[in-house]
Amino acid sequence: MTDLILRPWQKQDAQALASIANNRNIWNNVRDFFPSPYTVVDALQWIAKTATEKPVLNFAIVWQQQLVGGCGCIKKEDLYRKNIEIGYFIGEPYWGKGIATEACRLLCYYISEQMEMVRIEAHTFQNNKASMRVLQKNNFYLEAIKKKSVFKNNELMDEYLWVKMLR
pLDDT, tens digit, for every residue of 92-132? 999 999 999 999 999 999 999 999 999 999 999 999 999 99
Q: Span 147-155, mean pLDDT?
A: 96
* Closest to 84 in 3D by CA, of 52, 107, 106, 53: 107
pLDDT band at 167 (very low <50, low <70, confident <90, very high): confident
pLDDT at 88: 98
Q: How much is the pTM?
A: 0.95
pLDDT at 25: 95
Q: What percent of the chain has pLDDT over 70?
A: 99
Q: Which domains does the chain have, with CATH numbers?
A: 4-165 (3.40.630.30)
* Closest to 111 in 3D by CA, of 131, 88, 141, 128: 88
E-strand spans in the chain? 4-8, 58-63, 66-75, 83-90, 119-125, 141-152, 155-165
**What is the end-to-end Cα distance of the chain in Å, rounded?**
26
- Asked if residue 1 has pLDDT above 70, the reply is no
- Asked if residue 60 has pLDDT above 70, the reply is yes
pLDDT, tens digit, for every residue of 6-37? 999 999 999 999 999 999 999 999 999 999 99
Could you tell me whether strands 119-125 and 141-152 are parallel, antiparallel, or unpaired per DSSP bridges? unpaired
**95 within 8 A of 129, measured Cβ to Cβ:** no
Distance CA 125, CA 138 (A): 18
Distance CA 84, CA 29 (A): 19
Distance CA 149, CA 6 (A): 31
